[in-house]
Amino acid sequence: MKVYLIGAGPGDPGLLTLKGRDILGRADVVVYDYLANDVLLAHAREGAELIYVGKKGGDHTLPQDEINALIVSKAKEGKVVARLKGGDPYMFGRGGEEAEELMEAGLEFEVVPGVTSGIAGPAYAGIPLTHREHSSSVSFVTGHEDPTKPDTAHNWEALAKSASTLVFYMGMKNLPDISRKLIDAGMPKDTPAALVRWGTTGRHRSLASTIGALPEEAQKHGFSAPSLIVVGSVVSLRDKLGWFEKRPLLGKGIVVTRAREQASDSAALLAELGADVIQFPTIEIAPLADYGAVRSAIGKLAEYGLAIFTSVNGVRHFWDQLHALGRDSRALAGLKIAAIGPATAEALKARGIIPDFVPEKYVAEGVAQGLLNLYGGNMAGLKVLLPRAREARDVLPEALAAAGAVVDVLPVYETRPSGQRKDEVLAKLEAGEIQCITFGSSSTVTNFLSLVPVDTLKKYPAVKFACIGPVTAATLEKAGLPCHIQPADFTIPALARELAERL
């Protein structure tokens, strides 16, 4: 049994430390809070218990003493517990209190530091906390002192008259008071000051002003928690050094509806462009209950002349069964191999197979026509293996059969409806925080609309719909919604580029 107090970083999932990621991958229980990016939960091992404890500015799902008791009780069950905390555990994160509870309970623990928002948020906003010409020191200050303390712990005169850059955490509720106290203590009203809200995330915003005008400007521009307050002349460098806020999709809420196994690449590409990605998998990829037919087909691979893989998931589940039988890529040595698109081709290459054919148009129709051309329009007697999802379009096998091929459709996985984040998506639609909903297949359209009806979506005319290709777009339009955005190339990278240009 052991407890790890892990700093999740400020919001950008790429800022989680390697050590933190590795511990998440082996923990039995993950206890996480509001400021820990839930994308990080993808690093948790399958079957781990995930417990959300809240900790949103004054609105705690569990009070701190109950969180402490929860961590202790899970560890005493003999489990490895990862306590995932926003930022750094010991920087205004109450990690010290949790560590004390663990010590008193006689439990072993370890602290895994994280990148604190007070450093990362300003850096993403273009504000270096130290600079040879501006500041040689930094003071990190809580803007939310313990209300039970009779006196302030801050020496406001020392803060106001120092040459330090000041960074206030959790200070938005007290911003007018912080501004007044600094000015009353001798700080000039025109001292540069800034706010950084949701720093490092797709919802990142910053505002530069002066300490005197900042409370009014914050209200005018709708700044609220979680925001950092940065005070000092380094703020004057923001316009010159700002880099993150130049990303084309910054602040755009984009829903990714692909299965979680496929969504990570889409989410990463969109996040790199600055988007606030809302992962809402409408389908989940599941193994079959019985793989007898698949193993039988693998045992007869020598009978086939061609195998066609139509998805990364098909490749993965087919290879899982190969390995389960003690075989590897050499089992396909006598077959020609086709892949429906570049992502599937890369999945095959990772397993030592270079596809003989990848179509120019990454849809079933393109594969069918390309293969017909490859075989001169005559596939008479050619035995074709088609590993795919249990439920899929029959365009490809029907076209090949019409050309004389003998096609064995081989289900290797199945898709199931999923909608765990329906309420969150509806709330974000109502709040105007979603600008685009993306669809990577017809099944994602069908399943999404079963959860969020067309009539509901029509209430938000500003929301755009994006589809990876014409078949998916046709499904959307048949349901009564327009496809606003569709790339010329039917790939996720092309869709991301198109979104960056159009949004």
Catalytic site positions: 33, 55, 170
DSSP assigned state of 469: S
User: How many Cα atoms occupy the beta-carbon half-sphere of 315 within 13 Å?
Assistant: 26
Measured CA to CA, the distance from residue 321 to residue 411 in angstroms comes to: 12
Measured CA to CA, the distance from residue 464 to residue 441 in angstroms comes to: 17
Helix 342-349 and helix 312-324, axial crossing angle in degrees, nearest 10: 20
Token pair of 461 as six digits: 């005319």
Token pair of 118 as six digits: 């007070």
Q: Give the three-state DSSP class for 388.
A: strand
Measured CA to CA, the distance from residue 170 to residue 141 in angstroms comes to: 9
Measured CA to CA, the distance from residue 157 to residue 175 in angstroms comes to: 17
Please tell me whether the peptide bond between 226 and the residue prior to it is cis, using omega within 30 degrees of 0. yes
Measured CA to CA, the distance from residue 348 to residue 342 in angstroms comes to: 10
Say which residues have a Cβ less than 8 Å from residue 478's Cβ, sequence separation at least 6: none
CB of 85 within 8 A of CB of 64?
Answer: no
Considering just the CA atoms, what is the radius of gyration of the chain in Å?
27
CA angle 13, 31, 62 (to 5 degrees): 115
Token pair of 170 as six digits: 């959790």
Q: Which residue has the tokens 């994308």?
A: 39
Strand order in the sheet with 336-339: 283-286, 406-417, 383-389, 306-309, 336-339
Strands (DSSP E) contained in 34-162 are: 49-52, 80-85, 109-112, 138-142
Q: Which residue has the tokens 């399943």?
A: 447
Between the alpha carbon of residue 494 and those of residues 251, 273, 347, 364, the distances in Å are: 20, 13, 18, 18
Q: What's the chain's length in residues?
A: 503
Q: How many other C-beta atoms are found inside a 10 Å radius of the C-beta of residue 365?
A: 15
Measured CA to CA, the distance from residue 147 to residue 288 in angstroms comes to: 56
